[in-house]
């Protein structure tokens, strides 16, 4: 039904935007000869949509051509999850049968069957460089495979129950997993070690118990959403009282940001829009099936969208142009449908972009806006390993220990790149003493002189500057041989706090060195 158009106008209550429109146009309604569609996933460019069904069939749909290009018997039983690679040339699927299959997107051919997990899979995550595949499911461990070869890199232990979902950080050096054991764990995927374990204790009722039902991650990996069933014994001891909530947590610290209470049913799946403004849930009742668009900032449902059947899965494209939902046919139990809408008025995800921040509620998260103000292309992106010394950044309008901490964070991030070799800090300090240079305030010529004594090819100097609530980190890469600054990279954050610095460093590091 190509030309059927449905317009939904939402008032977006976000700082700096008024009376903005958010429109959905129904482009395709596709029948699926199966009791249930089990997952939906868009490619990163939004061109392809994949879905699976309860019979193990895999479908790949070309949104630009408006047709299904492949139907493949891929698994036995439900296909639970899938992920596209960054090149949009491969699709990886995982299912109830415990198989991990790698498909060529254009030919539909099975490229590889990755062995080693062996039981039901709930989620797959691919690192930003397409080199590591994380697999989670019924097992308590998080499995990491080398991709695309499929060799097992290792297992990470720390959860005590089924792992529901996982996602890599934007830099690819960390993985966050969420489990039914009510724990979120940040992992160092290079060392296969646990970095931080956080208990999920988001309660709105005194003395209640909670069960974790689902998890989703913002596209920029700033925060995590968790679907929670909260339950408590009703007054008089007659039955149980249930409440269905969405709780959001800061990726970097694990701190609870906000809880949206009052969904009408269990949140077994949900989405976070690419612009971070909406949480999208199945908010159906016994009589009415509907999709709800929650404004994350104020907790208000801005639109309930009616559906003609029981929802089973949803997806939104990274570029903010497409939205899809799978649902059962009310009259024919052997039939399901996929509805695909074109979106208008929703911003797509752009890494470290300049989109409007979502306003803080009660002085809690969603308030910072991080943006790169210089070119995002890495200053060092190829060639043999370069030897680099990172100098302590200058402090301007901020405490010197904060500048030192910022320097250590930058040094730690850059150290994860295979393109550089860092000069040891004690060696830098020794040469500084010999040359009688200060730790900070180096000119390009001073930095080049220091670099020659350190046998370094580059020196990284910079500053952290606080102007009101604006925080600015500036980095300059000095070529030791020419004594010239080869390039400057800068990141800014409005409504900044000291806790924001780690996020700013994560944004800045890939513009200095390619990871």
Residue with tokens 């493949």: 72
Domains, in order of start, for the chain = 369-512 (3.40.50.10610)
Q: How far apart are CA 263 and CA 238, in angstroms?
A: 23
For the chain, the straight-line distance linking the first and the last C-alpha, in angstroms and rounded, comes to 44
β-strands 278-282, 394-396 pairing: unpaired
Q: How far apart are CA 166 and CA 161, in angstroms?
A: 14
Residue 46 has a pLDDT of: 95
Work out whether the CA dihedral 393, 396, 400, 403 comes out positive or negative.
negative
The answer for residues whose C-beta is within 8 angstroms of residue 336's C-beta and 6 or more apart is 31, 32, 34, 35, 36, 37, 53, 309, 312, 326, 327, 328, 329
pTM for this structure?
0.68
Per residue in 179-199, pLDDT tens?
999 999 999 999 999 999 999
Residue burial 170-209, b: 16+ Cβ < 10 Å; e: rest: bbbbbbbbbbbbbbbbbbebeeeeeeeebebebbeeeebe
Q: Which two tokens stand for residue 372?
A: 């790169």
Q: How far apart are CA 449 and CA 509, in angstroms?
A: 25
Query: Exposed, middle or buried by CB within 10 Å (0-12, 13-18, 19+), for 68?
Result: middle
Averages of pLDDT over runs of 10 residues in the chain (515 residues) are 34 31 86 94 96 96 94 97 96 98 96 96 97 97 97 97 97 96 96 95 90 97 96 82 94 89 95 94 95 87 90 96 96 94 82 42 50 90 91 89 89 88 92 84 88 95 86 94 94 73 86 89
Residue 1 has a pLDDT of: 39
Residue 264: closest CA among 279, 297, 242: 242
Residue 161 has a pLDDT of: 97
Per residue in 262-305, pLDDT tens?
899 999 999 999 999 899 999 999 999 999 999 887 788 888 89
Rounded to the nearest 5°, which phi and psi values hold at 403? Answer: -65, -40
Residue 162 has a pLDDT of: 97
Residue 437 has a pLDDT of: 85
Q: How far apart are CA 479 and CA 358, in angstroms?
A: 40
């Amino acid at each position: 039904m190509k030309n059927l158009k449905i317009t939904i106008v939402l008032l977006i209550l976000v700082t700096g935007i008024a009376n903005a429109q958010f429109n959905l146009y129904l482009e395709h309604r596709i029948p699926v000869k199966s009791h249930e569609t089990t997952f939906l996933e868009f490619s990163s460019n939004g061109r392809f949509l994949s879905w699976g069904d309860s019979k193990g069939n895999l479908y790949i749909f070309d949104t630009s051509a408006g047709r299904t290009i492949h139907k493949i018997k891929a698994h036995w039983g439900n296909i639970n999850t899938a992920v596209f690679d960054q090149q949009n040339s491969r699709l990886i699927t995982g299912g109830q049968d415990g198989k991990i299959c790698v498909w060529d997107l254009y030919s539909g051919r099975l490229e590889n069957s990755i062995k080693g997990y062996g039981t039901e899979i709930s989620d797959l995550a691919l690192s930003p460089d397409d080199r590591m595949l994380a697999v989670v499911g019924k097992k308590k461990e998080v499995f990491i495979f080398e991709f695309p070869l499929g060799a097992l890199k290792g297992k990470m232990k720390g959860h005590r129950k089924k792992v529901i979902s996982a996602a890599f950080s934007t830099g690819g050096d960390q993985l966050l997993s969420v489990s039914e054991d009510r724990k979120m764990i940040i992992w160092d995927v290079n060392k296969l070690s646990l970095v931080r374990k956080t208990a999920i204790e988001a309660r709105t009722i005194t003395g209640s118990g909670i069960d974790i039902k689902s998890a989703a991650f913002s596209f920029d990996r700033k925060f995590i959403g968790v679907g929670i069933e909260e339950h408590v014994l009703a007054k008089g001891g007659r039955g149980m009282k249930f409440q269905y909530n969405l709780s959001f947590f800061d990726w970097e610290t694990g701190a609870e940001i906000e809880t949206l209470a009052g969904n009408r049913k269990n949140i077994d799946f949900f989405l976070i829009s690419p612009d971070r403004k909406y949480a999208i849930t199945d908010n159906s009742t016994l009589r009415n099936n509907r999709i709800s668009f929650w404004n994350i900032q104020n907790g208000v449902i801005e639109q309930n969208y009616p559906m003609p059947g029981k929802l089973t899965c949803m997806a939104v494209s990274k570029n903010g142009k497409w939205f899809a939902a799978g649902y059962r046919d009310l009259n024919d139990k052997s039939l399901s449908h996929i509805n695909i809408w074109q979106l208008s008025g929703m911003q797509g995800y752009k890494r470290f972009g300049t989109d409007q921040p979502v306003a803080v509620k009660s002085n809690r998260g969603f308030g910072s806006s991080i943006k790169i103000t210089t070119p995002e292309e890495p200053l060092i992106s190829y060639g043999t390993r370069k030897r680099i010394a990172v100098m302590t950044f200058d402090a301007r309008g901020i405490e010197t220990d904060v500048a030192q901490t910022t320097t250590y964070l930058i040094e730690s991030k850059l150290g994860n790149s295979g393109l550089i070799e860092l000069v040891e800090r004690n060696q830098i300090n020794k040469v500084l003493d010999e040359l009688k240079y200060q730790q900070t305030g180096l000119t390009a010529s001073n930095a080049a002189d220091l670099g020659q004594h350190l046998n370094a090819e580059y020196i990284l100097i910079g500053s952290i500057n606080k102007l009101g609530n604006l925080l600015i980190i500036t980095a300059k890469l000095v070529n030791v041989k020419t004594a010239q600054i080869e390039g400057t990279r800068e990141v800014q954050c409005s409504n900044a706090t000291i806790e924001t610095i780690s996020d700013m460093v994560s944004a800045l590091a890939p513009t200095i060195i390619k990871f």
